[in-house]
Homo-oligomer: A and B are copies of this chain.
Amino acid sequence: MRIEARLAELGLTLPPLLTMPGVKLPFDSVRVLGDRAVVSGHGAQGPDGRLVGPFGKVGAEVTEEQGYAAARSVALSMIASLQRTLGDLDRITAWVKLLGMVNSAPDFDRQPAVINGASDLILEVFGDAGRHARSAVGVAALPWRIAVEIEGEVLIRP
C-alpha cells in the first residue's frame, strides 16, 4: 500500500463514490481491459461524494487559482475511482495520458495553468510513474456547470 501511504503522508483524502441522486450514468468510471485502465471524465467531488464547485466558466465566474484547485480535486476523484476499481493503487505501473477540459470563457487562454493542478498532484503522489502525456483545452460547456473535467488512462499490473 505504498501509494495509500503516500496519500496519507501528503494529507490527501480520496472522495467516496460519486453521488448523483436520480441521474443515470450508463458507463464505467474506470474500464479495465488487460493492462489498461481507461478513466472516464471526472469532476471535483466533496467529502460526501457530490460534485462540488467552483461552478461556471474559468475566466469569468471562476478564477485561474480556483480552476487549479478544482483540477487538483479532479485528480483525487480519478484516483479514488481507480482505487475502487483496482482495489490497490500500487497496481498502477504508469500514467499514460490526461485530457483536461476547462469550462472556459471565450477569451481565457491559460488552460495549462489550470490543468497543472491535476498534473502536479499526480506527480506528487505517483512520482516517476505519474508522468503522462497531456492536452489542456477550453470547452464551451461542461456537465452540471463544473469548471474542470478530466479523463485519462493508466497502465496496471493485470
Contact = CB atoms under 8 A, between A and B. Distances in A.
Contacts of A27: 98, 119, 131-134
- One complex includes copies of this chain to the number of 3
28 contacts: A24-B116, A26-B120, A26-B123, A27-B132, A28-B132, A30-B133, A36-B96, A38-B96, A38-B133, A39-B133, A40-B135, A41-B134, A41-B137, A59-B141, A99-B99, A99-B135, A109-B141, A109-B145, A111-B142, A137-B139, A137-B141, A137-B142, A137-B143, A137-B149, A138-B140, A138-B142, A139-B139, A139-B140
Given A27-B119, A40-B133, 14 more contacts: A26-B116, A26-B119, A33-B94, A39-B133, A40-B97, A41-B135, A59-B141, A106-B140, A107-B141, A109-B141, A109-B142, A109-B144, A111-B143, A137-B143
